[in-house]
């Protein structure tokens, strides 16, 4: 009895891999063996870089905020501390957008953060360190 290989299903599976690898260069888009590896690595990189993009964009927001806050005479970390003290619950994405789009509103936010920092009681650790 001849061996049954289920050729239509195998051909369809290979064809599906080749179609998914469309757009890759050279043999990675034409030959099953190479297309299979290229597709697998592409999916791996896509999954990994969806996480990395979130880190990259957050660091971009922080760089933008730092630049915007320094024009008002503050550093980024003091600004964030002032926002927490003032109980302003805006995230870095929104703050970065405000800094770019509306300079006046951002200046008011910085002023509130500064005033909250000045009104904030000093920590006991700081006074002990100065005494010693």
Tell me the pLDDT tens digit for each residue of 101-125: 999 999 999 999 999 999 988 877 7
> Is residue 25's pLDDT more than 80?
yes
110's tokens: 């910085």
> Cβ neighbours of residue 74 under 8 Å, at least 6 residues apart?
82, 110, 113, 114
> Is residue 19's pLDDT more than 90?
yes
- DSSP character for 63? H
What is the distance between the alpha carbons of residues 32 and 106, in angstroms, rounded to a whole number?
Answer: 55
Q: Please state whether the predicted TM-score (pTM) of the whole model is above 0.85.
A: no
HSE, side-chain direction, 13 A CA sphere, residue 16: 6
Domains within the chain, CATH numbers bracketed = 9-48 (no CATH), 53-120 (1.10.1900.20)
Please provide the average confidence, as pLDDT, over all residues in the chain. 93
Of 54, 120, 46, residue with least CA distance to 93: 54
């Amino acid at each position: 009895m001849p061996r049954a290989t289920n050729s239509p299903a195998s051909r369809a599976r290979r064809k599906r891999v080749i179609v998914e690898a469309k757009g890759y260069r050279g043999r990675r888009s034409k030959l099953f063996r190479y297309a299979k590896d290229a597709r697998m690595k592409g999916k791996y990189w896509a999954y990994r870089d969806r996480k990395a993009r979130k880190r990259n964009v957050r660091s971009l927001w922080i760089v933008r905020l730092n630049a915007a806050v320094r024009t008002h005479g503050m550093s980024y970390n003091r600004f964030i501390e002032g926002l927490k003290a003032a109980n302003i619950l805006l995230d870095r994405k929104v703050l970065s957008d405000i800094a770019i789009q509306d300079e006046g509103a951002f200046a008011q936010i910085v002023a509130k953060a500064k005033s909250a920092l000045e009104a904030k009681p000093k920590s006991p650790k700081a006074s002990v360190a100065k005494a010693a």
